[in-house]
Structure 1
Amino acid sequence: MGVDFSDYDNDGRPDIVVTNLATEVYALYHNDGNGLFSYASLPTGLGAISSRSSGWGVGWEDFDNDGWKDLFVAQSHVLDTIERMDPGLRYKEVPLLARNVGGKLERVTLAGIGAVVGRGAAFGDLDRDGFVDIVMTVLGDRPAVLRNRGNSNHWLAISLTGTRSNRDGFGAKVKVNGQYAYASSAGSYLSANDKRLHFGLGSAREARVEVRWPSGKQQVLEHVRADQVLNVKEP
């Protein structure tokens, strides 16, 4: 029901994650290049942590700013009677947050939220503290705002302004210290994200930024200070 495109293993190619109904596991397709993808749900650990869940809104974001994109999924089944048919499944589910440890996914505990009927999920730094927060829609209830409490890692957010390209810079490919992201506001299920690109820098206090604009123009910025929103205008 949900899909997101992002480079989860920092090899420069966008990969695909697709959420499914319970017992089907979530599908992760690793971009091998040359138009080929390989099924990576099992080797990354995603299959093991999603086999009994049903997912909707999904997104890759570096929630702990360590330089690796983590995974969040809003979860719940479509049938409110599913527990009568299969006692091992649940209609309401706790959202999935999986930490990316060098390309392997490990489930971590979310504080402050229990089982809900999750649907949409949108991502952005709501309080401008340098850590990505989450807004999740809940069927029949108010949206849930999940505030990221953060840690000591550094970060860089990039806001693009196109001149020859479109004004928002959508379609631009941005590289920061070996990480890649594509400019877009598109989100997953019934959602749209903050258009600023967020990069975790770990312990690094500066970054090298490369932008390849849709127009074909390439731009390089050296020794960019960490912990700021950097406005980049197409030359």
Structure 2
Amino acid sequence: MENDGLLDLYVSNYVEYSIDNNPWCGIRYEKGGRTDLRDYCKPDFFIGVEDQLLHNLGSWKFNNVSDVSGISGNKGKGLGVIPADFDQDGDLDLYVANDGVMNHYYINDGRGYFEENAIFTGAGFNENGIPEAGMGVDIGDLNGDGWQDIFVTNFSGESNTVYLNNKRGYFNDETMMVGINQPSLDYVGFGTKLLDLDHDGWLDIFVVNGHVAVHINEMFKDYTHAQKKQMFLNNQDGTFREVLTEHIGDASAQSVGRGAAFGDIDNDGDIDAVISNNNGPANLLIRAGEPDKSWIGFLLEGVWSNRDAIGSRIVLSMNGSKQTRVINTAGSYLASNDKRAIFGMGNQSEAENVTIYWTSGRKSIFKNLKVGHYYKIKEDGTISAIVY
């Protein structure tokens, strides 16, 4: 977090819970001889816990810097966390999705101190000033302006939330405008990923759903425990449309979805998914066939930056337009993702201009790279095509 080349560890914590602090929640039947149904207790029943930041000293040693870094003192109910340079000042900031309380947005001053500023930057609540049940989270440039936006999965009745970065690290809740609100109201979202599903150069949205209350249908007839997964395609005009269930293959199977990890498992240029489910087997979802549009992918290796190049930014320029990807394995929910970056290239045969902004402050530029390949690029300028 202070650009010393070593990856630090941020730990999001949830609530104070113990066997002694285990309230009864569920459905009590007053009459009729039916058995009471014990079920999920909302996070409102418990006190939130502070998160922790551990500074990497090297040699597998860490120092707890939560107090001196400004992280402590903010009790949330964290379920998702992701780093990104939201204000593009050269250092990694932090966003934490909290369950039922205000989300946290920590702005890095570049020297390892963080200021929590979610309220004033517009990223703490929804557009009505209400906290939501943040679970999964991911970041990406949804509207093609080069700045990292935030997507958060929430509880049924709330909708998922799209925070568009209006530059310099300030955000607007544009969920209604982009068309995500209504389609997500009946679902409880967990794992998620912003990815280019159709290789048209614009980021789409994948959401894994599953209710937390086993007996939810006893209480609300419109809700189910097992739920469908959702995919939203980017219309390239600031709005999204949901892909019909019959068009998503095996991903259409309902499950009680939770964790979701994303990556190109079969190395064919599109992103696959592994999904963990409550009380059921995992799903391995491999995109069928070859991508019908061209693509290009990158695996970065830092030399002066951290070796995994976490936080480094790739900007691909082509025909007057730009695509941006940030190297990141975080996000989603209870998962870690493939660190390779994939760009959809439409019908293009080469990437005209690829610029890499390393976290060390260095910059690398490559021109006219052929599509249909992964390239390994080191911070010292070495580049090679990867053959799997």
TM class, shorter-length: over 0.9
Greater relative contact order (Cα 8 A, min sep 6): structure 1 or 2? 1
Does structure 2 retain, via aligned residues, the 8 Å contact 1:76–1:92? yes
Q: Output the CA distance in 1 between the equivalents of 2:169 and 2:360.
A: 23
Quick one: which of 86, 107, 111 aligns to 2:249? 111
Q: Which runs of 4+ in 1 moved over 3 A?
A: none
Quick one: which of 204, 224, 238 aligns to 1:70? 204
Residue 168 of structure 1 aligns to which amino acid in structure 2? D
Task: String of CA shifts for 1:36-84, please: whole Å, max 9, x gaps.
Answer: 1111111111102101111001110112111111111110111011111
TM-score normalised per structure 2: 0.59
The answer to whether the aligner puts 1:152 opposite 2:292 as a matched pair is yes
Does structure 1 retain, via aligned residues, the 8 Å contact 2:136–2:331? no
How far apart are 1:2 and its partner, in Å? 0.8
Residue 240 of structure 2 aligns to which amino acid in structure 1? L
Does structure 1 retain, via aligned residues, the 8 Å contact 2:138–2:193? yes
TM-score normalised per structure 1: 0.97
Q: Output the CA distance in 1 between the equivalents of 2:306 and 2:365.
A: 19
Task: Tell me the residue number matched to 1:211.
Answer: 356
Does structure 2 retain, via aligned residues, the 8 Å contact 1:63–1:148? no
Does structure 2 retain, via aligned residues, the 8 Å contact 1:158–1:232? yes
How far apart are 1:7 and its partner, in Å? 1.0
**Secondary structure of 1:13's partner?**
coil
The answer to whether the aligner puts 1:181 opposite 2:316 as a matched pair is no
* CA radius of gyration, larger in: 2
The answer to whether the aligner puts 1:96 opposite 2:230 as a matched pair is yes
The answer to whether the aligner puts 1:194 opposite 2:338 as a matched pair is yes
Q: Output the CA distance in 1 between the equivalents of 2:203 and 2:269.
A: 15
Residue 158 of structure 1 aligns to which amino acid in structure 2? F
Task: String of CA shifts for 1:5-51, please: whole Å, max 9, x gaps.
Answer: 11111111111111111010111100001221111111111102101
The answer to whether the aligner puts 1:227 opposite 2:365 as a matched pair is no
**Secondary structure of 2:292's partner?**
coil
**Secondary structure of 1:58's partner?**
strand
Does structure 2 retain, via aligned residues, the 8 Å contact 1:122–1:187? no
Residue 172 of structure 1 aligns to which amino acid in structure 2? S
Q: Output the CA distance in 2 between the equivalents of 1:9 and 1:132.
A: 20
Within-5 A mapping of 1:44-55: 44-55=178-189
How far apart are 1:151 and its partner, in Å? 3.5
Moved more, 149-158 or 222-231: 149-158
The RMSD of aligned alpha carbons is: 1.1
Residue 345 of structure 2 aligns to which amino acid in structure 1? L
Residue 85 of structure 1 aligns to which amino acid in structure 2? M
Moved more, 164-173 or 103-112: 103-112
Q: Output the CA distance in 2 between the equivalents of 1:5 and 1:114.
A: 26
Task: String of CA shifts for 1:149-187, please: whole Å, max 9, x gaps.
Answer: 254201111000111111111111111131111111113
Residue 111 of structure 1 aligns to which amino acid in structure 2? G
**Secondary structure of 1:33's partner?**
coil
How far apart are 1:96 and its partner, in Å? 0.8
Instruction: Say which structure is richer in strand.
Output: 1
**Secondary structure of 1:22's partner?**
coil
Moved more, 213-222 or 176-185: 176-185
